Structures are given as structure tokens and as C-alpha cells.
Amino acid sequence: MRVTCPLFLVRRTYGPCGRQSAGTASTAGRLLRGMLRGAAAGAAGCTALDTVGYLDMVVRGRGASTTPDATVERLSQVVRLPVPGPPGVRANRVAALGRITGITAGVGMGATLGLLTAAGWRPRDATLTATAGVLALIGTNGPMTVLRVTDPRTWSASDWAADLVPHVAYAVVAAAVFKGLAPDARSGNEAGRGPRSWCEAVRLRFT
């Protein structure tokens, strides 16, 4: 026995404009979820980047990079917003701000990746990983280069290795987490979804 549904109820459910008004995420919601998914992947990538960097410090016995601190100092001068406090306290604040800028860049680049995919970009796995790495390099080295804190053209091979290896770790982990957080392709609106319009609902009902 087939149960029919009055047409006016179908129209109410799916809206007079022909688009489903219930059960379908809005464009803004989809973009927001994509950004949050990317931000989470970026945060995981930051953890991988920092871990590889610290392991390199242990193996080679080198000190921490001073470019994040120099970037904060330079940015403070450019925007004319000094970091307050006596010398010792101020140095600690600058160091903390340097670390925060790195985390912000990593999470922000991940959010950008999530926004791109939520907007419809569907890259292959290798392209996704490469894009994550390029975005991370731009997000971290870009500001330092623009502010003239460093010049990549003068870097030695060991400098490039010390910079690229952690960013590769960031890209691999961020891409893996990003894919792991992807909604199941067999759930939601991709599979078993209802009709998107009342017109489609009526057509399906009588076919």
C-alpha cells in the first residue's frame, strides 16, 4: 500500500521556490564546516611541524630560530604598536607572540584549504598534500620575506632543509587529517538523499 502526501504539504516542505528548505545545509554552513575542518587539520599539521623542528634541534644541537621573534619586532615597528614591558618581560612576550604567529599561520592556511574544497575544489591526494605544503611555506616565510626579516635567496642548503622538512611534515599530516575528517561519501546528501525540490518530489511520487 502506497501512502500519498498532499501537494501543499510537499510544497511546504520543499519551499515555493523549488529548493529544499529543510535538511539541506546552506552554502554559508557548508563553507564554515569546511573552514573548521581545515583549521583542525592545520592545527595537527602545526604539531607535526613543531615536533620535527624540535627533533632537528635535538639531533643537530642547534638553537631555536630567531626569525619569528624578529618578525614580531619588525611588524611592531611597521604598525607602530610596541610590545610593552621591561626588557626581560618584553622579550618573553615577543617570543610568545612569535610562536602564536606561527600557529596562526598554520591553522589559517588549513582553514583556507578547507574553504577551497568546501567551495567545490576536489584535488587528488598528491595535489592536496602539495597545496598544503605550499600554503604553509607562504604563510610562514611570506611575511618574513615581505618584512625583510629574511631573504630565502641567501639561504644555504642546510637552511632550506631545516625549513622544508618540517613543512613537508605539516603538509602530510594536515592532508591526512583533512581527509580523515571528510564526511562519509555514503551518508548525508551524497547518498540516499531526498529530492531537492517539490517538483522532483512529485515526479518521483508518480513515476
Query: Residue 154's pLDDT is what?
Result: 92
pTM: 0.75
Query: Residue 187's pLDDT is what?
Result: 47
Class of residue 59 by CB neighbours under 10 A (exposed 0-12, middle 13-18, buried 19+): exposed
Query: Residue 161's pLDDT is what?
Result: 87
Query: Residue 3's pLDDT is what?
Result: 46
pLDDT band at 26; cut points 50, 70, 90: confident
Phi, psi of 150 (to 5 degrees): -145, 160
152 Cβ contact partners less than 8 Å away, ≥ 6 residues apart: 141, 145, 160
| Mean local confidence (pLDDT), 152-175 | 92
What are 133-149's pLDDT values in tens digits?
A: 999 999 889 999 999 99
% of the chain residues with pLDDT over 90: 63
| Mean local confidence (pLDDT), 107-126 | 93
Average pLDDT, the chain: 82
Mean pLDDT lowest among 22-36, 94-108, 110-124, 148-162: 22-36
Query: Residue 116's pLDDT is what?
Result: 94
User: The C-alpha cell of 90 is what?
Assistant: 618584553
pLDDT band at 184; cut points 50, 70, 90: low
